[in-house]
Amino acid sequence: MSQTVAAEISALTAELESYNYQYYVLDEPTVTDAEYDRVFRRLQGLEEAHPELRLKTSPTQRVGGAPLDGFKQVKHEVRMLSLDNAFDAEEFSAFDQRLKKLLGDGAEIEYACEPKLDGVAVSLLYRNGVLERGATRGDGQVGEDITSNVRTIKSIPLQLLGTGYPELLEVRGEIYMPRAGFEAFNQQARERYEKEFVNPRNAAAGSLRQLDPTVTAKRPLQMCCYSVGLVEGGELPARHSDILEQLHCWGLRINSESQVVQGSEACITYFDQMAARRDQLPMDIDGIVFKVNSIAAQEAIGFVSRAPRWAIAHKFPAQEEMTTVEAIEFQV
């Protein structure tokens, strides 16, 4: 029995590693995200039931993929993590219950609710308010130096506005391609019989990892900030949502759809409202991220190997599956 399980764990690990390489390193996914998530879940389930059979190389314990050769490597001083997923309201509710138990005071938790933008996670390092370095997440510990490329994105300030920013401030967020820009880009590609992008996420990733920044400069990319990493020589507010407001005052873009709510029921209401409006948004979102809003509570709750325990991505159901498959089928 355990031999069969061990063989399946080994096969699923290899399968996911190959999907990760295609997706993160080559920017050429070969399966839909929904299919990837199904295989990932299957492996997670088997590993939970048989922890002794988990392989050291398991993708359930790691973030993203290795950085591409051709770019200088950047070591992240504070690791860039992924997010755990919830695929339905019950899983989200279990997450909320778990946190309540951990925090132990029985009170409803204050959550920051944010659309989960489907792009590429990026770190921007500001020294004394000046943009010094832009990097991809890579495998969470080492990313790619894409400074010249991020400097071409007009919504990223090269110098922060105002005063009071820490001497070293690492801002994290998602670089994405809004839908209108993605469609216009693919339209042009079709007219020129050139290769189209599979989806806006893939378009953002491919555009950011250009060795020639003049190519990136022509791509309609946007950045939206959702957290901070390294902070030295200065203080930030004590609530996540206030930190984002502060970043906004310093000239960085944040998501105007984000909301602070009390308790899990209000989270589900927010989720349903955003799911209903999803198609009208100017960019692709693939779910909602719920984060414990108090930084002190986040610190008390902590991390597991590849994700914070104080946040969860509640993914939308399979719409993405269909659009991705259609896009792959129509690719020239």
Range 46-105, binding ligand NAD (CB under 6 A) = 63-64, 82-83, 85
Helix/strand/coil percentages in the chain, nearest 5: 40, 20, 35
Catalytic residue among 101, 116, 154, 218: 116
* Beta carbons of 80 and 137 less than 8 angstroms apart: yes
Nearest residue (CB) to ligand NAD, 46 versus 81: 81
Is 83 among the annotated ligand-binding positions?
Answer: yes
Tokens representing residue 7 in the block: 């063989």
**Could you confirm whether 116 is annotated as catalytic?**
yes
Residue 16 CB, nearest distance to ligand NAD (Å)?
8
- Give the residue, chosen from 283, 289, 297, 312, that forms a contact with ligand NAD under the rule CB under 6 A: 289
Site string for ligand NAD, 227-266 (x = CB under 6 A): ----------------------------------------
Range 27-56, binding ligand NAD (CB under 6 A) = 29, 31-33, 36-37
Residue 309 CB, nearest distance to ligand NAD (Å)?
14
Nearest residue (CB) to ligand NAD, 184 versus 318: 318
Tokens representing residue 142 in the block: 């080492």
Is 151 among the annotated ligand-binding positions?
Answer: no
Is 36 among the annotated ligand-binding positions?
Answer: yes
Nearest residue (CB) to ligand NAD, 289 versus 292: 289
Tokens representing residue 76 in the block: 């992240």
Could you say which DSSP state residue 128 is in? T
CB-side neighbour CA atoms (13 Å) of 182: 21
- Give the residue, chosen from 27, 47, 96, 114, that forms a contact with ligand NAD under the rule CB under 6 A: 114
Burial of 325 per CB tally in 10 Å (0-12, 13-18, 19+): middle
- Taking the C-alpha atoms of residue 290 and residue 312, their distance in angstroms, rounded to an integer, is 5
Residue 33 CB, nearest distance to ligand NAD (Å)?
3
Could you say which DSSP state residue 53 is in? G
- Taking the C-alpha atoms of residue 10 and residue 162, their distance in angstroms, rounded to an integer, is 53
Helix (H) or strand (E) holding 288: strand 285-292
- Give the residue, chosen from 23, 197, 250, 310, that forms a contact with ligand NAD under the rule CB under 6 A: 23
* Beta carbons of 203 and 197 less than 8 angstroms apart: yes
Report the C-alpha dihedral over residues 33, 37, 39, 40, rounded to 10 degrees. Answer: 130
The yes or no reply on residue 313 touching ligand NAD (CB under 6 A) is: yes
Q: How far apart are the first and last CA of the chain?
A: 46
Tell me the residue nearest to ligand NAD as measured from the CB. 121
Report the C-alpha dihedral over residues 43, 46, 49, 51, rounded to 10 degrees. Answer: -60
Is 82 among the annotated ligand-binding positions?
Answer: yes
The yes or no reply on residue 19 touching ligand NAD (CB under 6 A) is: yes
- Taking the C-alpha atoms of residue 190 and residue 157, their distance in angstroms, rounded to an integer, is 33
The yes or no reply on residue 226 touching ligand NAD (CB under 6 A) is: yes
- Give the residue, chosen from 12, 46, 113, 117, that forms a contact with ligand NAD under the rule CB under 6 A: 117
Q: What residues line the site for ligand NAD (CB under 6 A)?
A: 19-20, 22-23, 29, 31-33, 36-37, 63-64, 82-83, 85, 114, 116-117, 121, 137, 174, 226, 289, 313
Cite the active site residues.
Answer: 116
Annotated binding-site members: 33-37, 82-83, 114, 137, 174, 291, 315
